Amino acid sequence: MDARTRPARRRRGRVPAVLAAAAACLLAFPGAVPNTFGRLGSLLETFLPWLGLVVPVLLVVARARRSAVVLLVLLPVACLWLGRYGGAPAAGGAPAYDITVVQHNVSDENSDPEGTVRTLRDARPQLIALQELTPAALPAYRAALAPGHPHHAVHGTVGLWSAYPLRDVRPLDIRPPGFGADWNRGLRATAVTPYGEVAVLVAHLPSVRIGPTGLRSGPRDAGAALLGGAIAAEPAGRVIVLGDLNGTVEDRGLAPVTDRLGPAPATLAFSWPAALPLARIDQVLARTATVVGISTLPRTGSDHLPVAARIRM
């Protein structure tokens, strides 16, 4: 190789190397991106797993430009991504668990409640939380779920169906300031399980919007603060939160909730939108219990995919 071509090749690899280094920094320190303009930090955290696409794209670039520098910089990117999202099951197989729960925003435009319930029941859950229940569809959900889940509670547009008896059922106030009195998207119940009593909180936080100015999440963040306060004040030792939280667990806007609960498994079980899932905004989180696995179920008549979680009590 002509000595004069080496610096040229090194220069050709500088831009891909800088991009790879930037991706590594964002994966390692997403919290360093401020939320002061357009809530860019939350926007990054919502789609953080997709930074992994940098690796195959820049691998092609590195091969085309024969740049060893780019390959070296991509190594920490790959390691960081695998550390966050590439966890494999333990050598002994899947982790042990005690109950299965399902979380699903069924959509107020879902025309097939019975088919939706069949999909949810295939996971054999003991607890099922639903959002966007409408008065017209509610009787169909009640009838379809009754055989395996005779205990249920509904408040506003959210509901909980249980194989275990429920008591101490009451509304959960997560209504942000300025929202009308008819906005009722939370409930709390105590499930009497073979493993002891557990407080189950079902929530549907306000939607977020993505536009030219970034992420608009003020009402969602206000609802998350109220939900976090309810979790902090919950006297029960064991708590399970099931909900469409309109945010990923990495999103700092949900910190009032996620900081008070155990970590969720870092899986790529994206739940929204159902046609082309980009993020998991349907969450199962717990306190004094461990969520050991999360997966999505087949598509229903909703714009969300159902999420099934296994919990060790």
Domains of the chain: 5-85 (no CATH), 99-312 (3.60.10.10)
- 113: number of CA atoms within 13 Å, CB side? 17
Q: Report d(CA 201, CA 277) in Å as an integer.
A: 25
Tokens at 184, concatenated: 């009722």
Contact (CB, 8 A) for 25 and 196 = no
pLDDT at 218 over 70: yes
Which residues lie below 8 Å from residue 75, measured CB to CB, with a gap of 6+? none
SS3 263: coil
Angstrom distance (rounded) from CA 275 to CA 269: 14
Of the given ranges (69-78, 201-210, 221-230), which has the lowest mean pLDDT? 69-78
Name the residue with higher pLDDT: 145 or 85: 145
Q: What is the pTM of this model?
A: 0.90
* Rg, C-alpha atoms of the chain: 22
Q: Taking residues 27-41, what's their average pLDDT?
A: 90
